[in-house]
């Protein structure tokens, strides 16, 4: 399959899964290249960095992380949708793909020896999720990471995708890392880290 045939097939798969589960997939098209690159930059993606990706879908951010130098063996993907999970296993051999709920990130990280990792990158529809889910996802992500770990989240909205009260409660600081106009829809990349890692 050529690159453009693969891109077409992935867009088609994405729309099919969106039709089946519009609230979970939460977008009609995979993230564009500029947004995926910004997500990888926000995570400091490079050789030797160990990364967990939540809600990878068809894997455009996965591809950007690999392109930035992250080794396939240093990447763990946690995806709820079984068809996306199957696609990711075929598309990115060597990457660990876990079919499951991002709310169980703590369990998945421990089971696969990923505790102490460097970054958690999320394409989840976080703002549409209840606060209890955000608590488990963000809380679990920071438990899975080392002290300097970063949580990187995309959003189509103007505000912090992580609830500000939760950001304070977890002792985090967050900032908009990049705004990407050339994406459908335009999107922002937010990066959160522990307050103690900033001071
Ligand atoms: C907006 S799409 C983003 C897909 C991809 N990261 C991208 O940027 O193109 C959201 C993704 O999160 C997945 N997802 C939604 N809820 C999830 C959950 N609780 N746990 C794991 N994945 C979830 C969906 O199946 C979908 O792949």
Query: What spacing in Å lies between the alpha carbon of 199 and ligand 1's midpoint?
Result: 33
Query: What are the sequence ranges of the domains in the chain?
Result: 31-198
Block mean pLDDT (10 aa), the chain, length 199: 88 90 88 97 98 97 98 98 96 96 96 94 95 96 95 95 96 97 95 87
Does 99 sit in the ligand 1 pocket, CB within 6 Å? Answer: no
CA–CA separation, 55 and 71 (whole Å): 19
Does 32 sit in the ligand 1 pocket, CB within 6 Å? Answer: no
Q: Which long-range contacts (CB under 8 A, 24 or more apart) does 168-174 make?
A: 170/138, 170/139, 170/142, 171/195, 171/196, 172/138, 172/142, 173/198
CA–CA separation, 109 and 151 (whole Å): 14
Query: What spacing in Å lies between the alpha carbon of 13 and ligand 1's midpoint?
Result: 13
Considering only CA atoms, which of 174, 160, 181 is closest in space to residue 35? Answer: 181
The 10 Å CB-count burial string (b at 16+, else e) for 95-134 is bbbbbebbbbbbebbeeeebeebbbbbbbbbbbebeeeeb
Does 56 sit in the ligand 1 pocket, CB within 6 Å? Answer: yes
Considering only CA atoms, which of 175, 172, 179 is closest in space to residue 139? Answer: 172
CA–CA separation, 172 and 167 (whole Å): 5
CA–CA separation, 31 and 130 (whole Å): 23
What is the residue with the minimal CA distance to atom 15 of ligand 1? Answer: 24
Is the CATH number 3.40.50.1820 carried by domain 31-198? Answer: no
Does 140 sit in the ligand 1 pocket, CB within 6 Å? Answer: no
Mutational pocket test of ligand 1: of 58, 76, 124, 134, the residue with most ligand atoms within 8 Å of the beta carbon: 124
The kind and range of the H/E element at 131 are helix 131-144
Query: What spacing in Å lies between the alpha carbon of 124 and ligand 1's midpoint?
Result: 5
Query: What spacing in Å lies between the alpha carbon of 71 and ligand 1's midpoint?
Result: 22
CA–CA separation, 139 and 104 (whole Å): 11
* pLDDT at residue 84, rounded to an integer: 97
């Amino acid at each position: 399959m050529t690159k453009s045939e693969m891109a077409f097939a992935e867009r088609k798969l994405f729309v099919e899964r969106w039709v089946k589960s519009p609230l979970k997939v939460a977008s009609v098209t995979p993230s564009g290249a500029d947004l995926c690159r910004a997500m990888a930059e926000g995570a400091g993606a490079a050789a030797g960095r160990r990364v967990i990706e939540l809600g990878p879908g068809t894997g455009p951010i996965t591809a950007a992380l690999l392109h930035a130098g992250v080794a396939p063996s240093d990447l763990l993907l946690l995806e709820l949708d079984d068809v996306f999970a199957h696609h990711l296993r075929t598309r990115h051999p060597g990457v660990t793909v876990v079919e499951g709920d991002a709310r169980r990130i703590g369990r998945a990280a421990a089971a696969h020896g990923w505790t102490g990792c460097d970054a958690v990158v999320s394409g989840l529809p976080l703002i549409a999720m209840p606060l209890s889910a955000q608590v488990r996802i963000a809380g679990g992500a920071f438990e899975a990471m080392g002290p300097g770990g970063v949580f990187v989240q995309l959003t189509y909205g103007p505000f912090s995708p992580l609830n500000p009260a939760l950001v304070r409660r977890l002792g985090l600081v967050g900032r908009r890392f990049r705004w990407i106009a050339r994406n459908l829809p335009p999107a922002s990349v937010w990066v959160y880290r522990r307050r103690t890692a900033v001071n």
